Structure 1
Amino acid sequence: MKILARINWAYSTLVIFTGLLLKILLYPFVPRPYASKISAWFIRTLIFVHVREIGTPDPEAQMYVINHQSELDIGVIESSTKRELAWVAKKELFEIPFFSLAVRLSREIPLERESKSALVALLKAAKERIDDGRIVCIFPEGTRSESGRMRRFKPGAKLIADKLGLTVQPVVLIHTARFFSTKRMTAAPGVITAVYLESVQADKNDKKWLEQLQQRMQETYDRYEQRKES
């Protein structure tokens, strides 16, 4: 079984890289955001991953807050909404060959960690994308977590949402690492559950709204994970 999982992982990794190349090649020739959407569907289709959506994307949402477990997470969200998304990604990705071209073409938002001087640039970029009709997407944990317990949300999402007065929709992805994990070098076909929860309005006077949002997302994750286990 381990050998089969490694073979599936190698195949899925090749598909993901090919999907990114497809996005790069299509970007100059198709209207926004079709290059990203086609790439996401290409990856999902060829690695035999389906998505079961619970709830619906809020047409008024300006930010998605999403738990992060796998490299599949972006493709799942991209393929489940017609809206154009703007992903907040660590600055290092903008400096890696090939990856940098993919994120720069679609004008994702670079995040420089532990840098207060980059805060103004981050807010400006987020506002520009929102004014352009895009949804800012952020993984507030800051990194992937495969344990089922979400890491403590970093304050970046709250800062952006508070400063810009955004409508924030939480999205809970259920155990995507079961279907692709670089850490364990495993992959498998299956059905991913994406739960779109009710949106909240960012309120800078409420110091705990992001903390409460994380609690609601974790409770949702636990509930659907228990259903899957049973």
Structure 2
Amino acid sequence: MLNSIKTFSFLFGYLPVAAVKLKSFQKKKPHLTIEEYDALIHTEPSKWASGIMKRTKSEVSVTGLELLPEGPVLIVSNHEGNFDIPVILSSIPKPFGFISKKEVKKLPVIPIYMEDMNCVFIDRTDRRSALKSISDTAEKLKEGHSILIFPEGTRSKGNGLGDFKAGFIRIASDAGVPILPLAIQGTADIMEKNDNKIKPAKVSLQILEPIAPETFKSMPSKEAIQFVKEKIELAFKNTDNQQK
């Protein structure tokens, strides 16, 4: 219970500090390149996410940092729990935005930050919004920003990989950028498996070999989806074998 109070207190308590920092960052924007501004904006979400993870008292192991490529990439990760984004934000030094449900826009400060991070908002109940999010995300990538997407569309809560929706392949193909697969395990143990109470957990984040556009563009869509999904599944199996 104490972990939950500390975590949620920090989650919202840090927002006034973030708001002040954002205003100072935006003043610098006209004088910075896209890469420089993305890196500057990333500093605060990364601090915020690190503070959240510290308060959960979870142990996070990260492998594959040396595989992070230069330039924009579509980061494709499985989606286990609500703490996936804090883990990824606090663990990966590469700036990125992500696709988020539109309800987040009702929160204070956070959506303003997300817009400057180049996040894309989607109304899952509206097919037109979903289709527009594909083109909007591809455009962000073409502009030079990296984006994170969870192709399962919803949290697995630690119950294995769900089906991958096809949109991410179209996005990466349209933008002509590599796909960077991530395999994340253990975030559901922080909250989802505890009746939404926060407890310490062991979390593993594996950064996998980037997949070049010419690799997945040469495949039929269904084959490309399966190809990426199998990369993540294999990473899970390797981790399970190492733990035995």
> Aligning the two structures, in what range does the TM-score lie when normalised by the shorter sequence?
0.7 to 0.9
Instruction: Identify the residue that residue 206 of structure 1 maps to in structure 2.
Output: 220
Deviation of residue 156 (structure 1)? 1.6
The structure with the largest helix share of the pair is 2
Partner-residue secondary structure (3-state), 1:84: coil
Q: Which moved more, 1:120-129 or 1:66-75?
A: 120-129
Instruction: Identify the residue that residue 57 of structure 2 maps to in structure 1.
Output: 48
Instruction: Identify the residue that residue 32 of structure 1 maps to in structure 2.
Output: 41
Deviation of residue 191 (structure 1)? 3.5
TM-score by length of 2: 0.78
Residue deviations 1:136-192 (CA, integer Å, cap 9, x gap) = 100111011113311101112112112222200110011211123387213222442
Looking at structure 1, the residues matched to 54 and 95 of structure 2 have their Cα atoms a distance apart, in angstroms, of: 20
Q: Which moved more, 1:134-143 or 1:25-34?
A: 25-34
Letter in 1 for 2:54: T
Residue deviations 1:199-224 (CA, integer Å, cap 9, x gap) = 11331643211112112212322432
Change (3 A) 1:128 1:163: closer
Instruction: Identify the residue that residue 72 of structure 1 maps to in structure 2.
Output: 83
2:99 paired with 1:82: no
2:188 paired with 1:174: no
Identity value in percent = 20
Looking at structure 2, the residues matched to 174 and 13 of structure 1 have their Cα atoms a distance apart, in angstroms, of: 22
Change (3 A) 1:165 1:29: same
Change (3 A) 1:196 1:20: farther
Letter in 2 for 1:39: W
Instruction: Identify the residue that residue 31 of structure 2 maps to in structure 1.
Output: none
Coordinate RMSD, CA, aligned? 2.7
Give the gaps of 5 or more residues in structure 1.
Answer: 1-5
| 1:51-62 equivalent positions in 2, closer than 5 A | 51-56=60-65, 57-60=67-70, 62=73
Looking at structure 2, the residues matched to 115 and 54 of structure 1 have their Cα atoms a distance apart, in angstroms, of: 37
Instruction: Identify the residue that residue 3 of structure 1 maps to in structure 2.
Output: none
Give the gaps of 5 or more residues in structure 2.
Answer: 26-39
Change (3 A) 1:123 1:152: closer
Letter in 2 for 1:185: N
Q: Which moved more, 1:195-204 or 1:20-29?
A: 20-29
Deviation of residue 28 (structure 1)? 1.7
Looking at structure 1, the residues matched to 96 and 141 of structure 2 have their Cα atoms a distance apart, in angstroms, of: 9
Looking at structure 2, the residues matched to 105 and 136 of structure 1 have their Cα atoms a distance apart, in angstroms, of: 12
Instruction: Identify the residue that residue 9 of structure 1 maps to in structure 2.
Output: 4
